[in-house]
Structure 1
Amino acid sequence: MKVIMIGSHLRTTGGITRVVKNYFQAGLNKKVDLEYLPTYFGSNHFVNIFYFFTKLIGLYIKLYFLNKRYDVAHIHMSYKGSFIRKKYIINLLKNKKIPIILHMHGSQFKEFYDQSADKKKSDISNTLNKVSIILALGTEWKEYYETICQTKVVSLDNAVFPKKLDSDDSNNRIYITTMGILSNRKGTYDLIEVANKLKGTIDPKFKFLLAGDGEIEKVRKKINELGLNDLFIVPGWISNEDKIQEIYQKSVIYILPSYNEGMPMSILEAMSFGLPIISTKVGSIPSVIINNENGFLVEPGDIQNLGNAVEQLLKDEQMIERMGNNNINKIKEQYNIHESIENIVKIYSQL
């Protein structure tokens, strides 16, 4: 079975890249004849445009001059520029009658659609209706996409590798960690406010570790203004897998107070390392995190309850251990990358 998968260049950061890398690492390319076509380079605007059109022209030549055939196309899409790029590609593939799987990742796709003019909304819906099947990150997103298109939508959760964890001294776990883009949307500044409220009430050995790109200097400046430098570590973006693993192993809590999300890969990764999760009731997160079972959920912007959840966990090692074990089992049973790629191959075969 010949499959073309289309997404971002694997040099870029973000959820799509992590998903694709996991697919390759789990051996999807050994189960099908898989060709990967990156269409976004992750550089400046003009480089990205040039890069995309070279890839688009190359695909056009393959399809229309070299008569290259694919049994299935698997497209990863977000919103805004990602939608525009993938719309052109969908049209090329549709004209060649190639079945298309559209794998939706955009945490802000609803806002992108709702804030568009009527003509743009129609264009979005028409594009979604050209594909064979839409993969949505959880039932919440599945139900949403079904309101704006007629294409069959299937819920497919993100997935990660279960980890073989060594028993570790809990005294070495000192980080309250978040990873990703540092921004208002991710609730980064809410975390700073939480730390400000908790200063002096929690053991000073615990540190908030904010790893990621985005508004790094702005975040550091805010921390400095509030006199919280002793509570924070802001290392910037970390790409080294060994270093990422080391951070998770030294973390006691994973916290992601986002204002919108799909199904965050960072939450699943943290769960696989046996961490309790504190997050918000957005996207598909409530289908993954159950209050008092494997973490705590609060409303976006609820700094008081965010702080309460952090404080409650740090004072209850048994709760941390119980929630961590629940998350390890949940990854093995429900969000296991090996099971996920088997489901994807089945979808390929059905198409």
Structure 2
Amino acid sequence: MDFSKGMKKEKGENMKVIMIGSHLRTTGGITRVVKNYLQSDLDKKVNLEYFPTYFGSNHLINILYFFIRFIVLYFKLNISNVKYDVAHIHMSYKGSFYRKKIIINSLKKKNIPILLHMHGSQFKDFYNQSSKKQQKEITNTLNKVDIILALGKEWKDYYQSICKSQVFSLDNAVFLKETSNDEEKIYITTMGVLSNRKGTYDLITAAAKLKGNIDSKYKFLLAGDGEVENVKKRINDLKLNDLFIVPGWISNEEKVQEIYRKSVIYVLPSYNEGMPMSILEAMSFGLPIVSTNVGSIPSVIKNEENGILIKPGDIQDLKNAIEQILNNQQMKESMGKNNINKIKVHYNIYESIEKLVKIYSNLSKQVH
């Protein structure tokens, strides 16, 4: 049964939901998803409590923070006897999996319905590189939850292949944005973690090939955390400082939106992904996308309709895709319009939370 269909619209204001994830100070896709839920008034549709268990600092602080938060949760469940209709847990891989495994076991003992929202772009690698014993542990943990939410059909099919829990697809979603043609579009932008996995160094190499072949007004803007100093060194070694802007992580939302509005293309040449929030954000600003055919990206980006997809690591195709869009004004405009419409119809945050509330309601009824 698909919980997101065939139901009358239901507010569920009295439903008590505990949502468990990272502290909102942290960077990354999970935090962006949670913030979007909170900003779209999910907490007015259900009685929502957000409960962070990961602080996003050094390893020792993260362990201490989790320990303290777990004790708080234990007291809520066992001493104060707080009752929850649904627990909505955001999980990635590695440390995130092992932390959430402990929480899942505690919630299961209290017979609280569990919705596990999977985000880990490297979960397949995490599973495949684990021992047989660890793989069994992972599968057993996934089997303890009532529903798994996957980011797109590709990830839904994967989780169904390794566990027996019900798996539904719920795409990430963003807010519609006001766009303007008044801004000069000069940035070829990527945002997030700067690393080899994200294809950052491939993009630098592709930019070296483009130098002198594109208008000098265009700048590659790499905004994010991760290997910032290594990235700057690579750019300097290739004598490309005049072509790049590397501002580090930008936490100011107005500044982020200003960058998107001044961007001409959004590029994410990753080697693995879930459903990247940064791509959806860029689409909401009407940007053509150049990305790779990994994770759920091919379900969002269709070649020459709203972007161009390449194979991970194909630097020549990456260079050609950027050049093709820059040199074709009609393509740029068409892709931009298609992306705004796609966000409006398929990846609208308000539609997404309506589906989520229905899933909460059905899950709570099913288990209770």
**Same fold, TM-score > 0.5, yes or no:** yes
Partner of 1:33: 47
1:303 matches 2:303: no
Which stretches in structure 1 are left out of the alignment for 5+ residues? none
Matched residues in 1 for 2:213 and 2:182: separation? 25
How far 1:348 moved relative to its partner? 0.3
Q: Secondary structure at the match of 2:175?
A: coil
How far 1:168 moved relative to its partner? 2.4
How do 1:92-107 and structure 2 match up within 5 A? 92-107=106-121
Match of 1:91 among 99, 102, 105: 105
How far 1:184 moved relative to its partner? 0.1
How do 1:198-217 and structure 2 match up within 5 A? 198-217=210-229
Residue identity in the other structure for 1:141 = W
What stretches of structure 1 move > 2 A for 4+ residues in a row? 166-169
Matched residues in 1 for 2:353 and 2:301: separation? 23
The question of whether the paired residues in 1 share the 8 Å contact of 2:148 and 2:167 is answered with yes
Which stretches in structure 2 are left out of the alignment for 5+ residues? 1-14, 364-368
1:80 matches 2:113: no
Matched residues in 1 for 2:133 and 2:180: separation? 55
Summarize deviations over 1:181-200 as a string: whole Å, max 9, x none.
00000000000100111111
Partner of 1:188: 200
Partner of 1:156: 170
Work out the percentage of aligned pairs sharing the same amino acid.
74
How far 1:297 moved relative to its partner? 0.1
Match of 2:294 among 282, 289, 297: 282
Partner of 2:352: 340
Residue identity in the other structure for 1:132 = D
Summarize deviations over 1:201-257 as a string: whole Å, max 9, x none.
111110000000000010001100111001100000000000000000000000000
Partner of 2:22: 8
How far 1:163 moved relative to its partner? 1.0
How far 1:122 moved relative to its partner? 0.3
1:142 matches 2:156: yes
Partner of 1:228: 240
Give the count of matched residue pairs: 349
Q: Secondary structure at the match of 1:5?
A: strand
Q: Secondary structure at the match of 1:236?
A: coil
Residue identity in the other structure for 2:31 = T
The question of whether the paired residues in 1 share the 8 Å contact of 2:117 and 2:148 is answered with yes
Q: Secondary structure at the match of 2:111?
A: coil
Residue identity in the other structure for 1:8 = S
Matched residues in 2 for 1:221 and 1:55: separation? 39
What is the TM-score of this pair, normalised by structure 1?
0.99
How do 1:299-338 and structure 2 match up within 5 A? 299-338=311-350
Over the residues paired in the alignment, what is the CA RMSD in angstroms? Answer: 0.5
Matched residues in 1 for 2:76 and 2:279: separation? 39
Match of 1:65 among 79, 82, 85: 79
Matched residues in 2 for 1:184 and 1:92: separation? 37
Residue identity in the other structure for 2:226 = G
Q: Secondary structure at the match of 2:82?
A: coil
How far 1:15 moved relative to its partner? 0.4
Residue identity in the other structure for 1:318 = Q
The question of whether the paired residues in 1 share the 8 Å contact of 2:290 and 2:321 is answered with yes
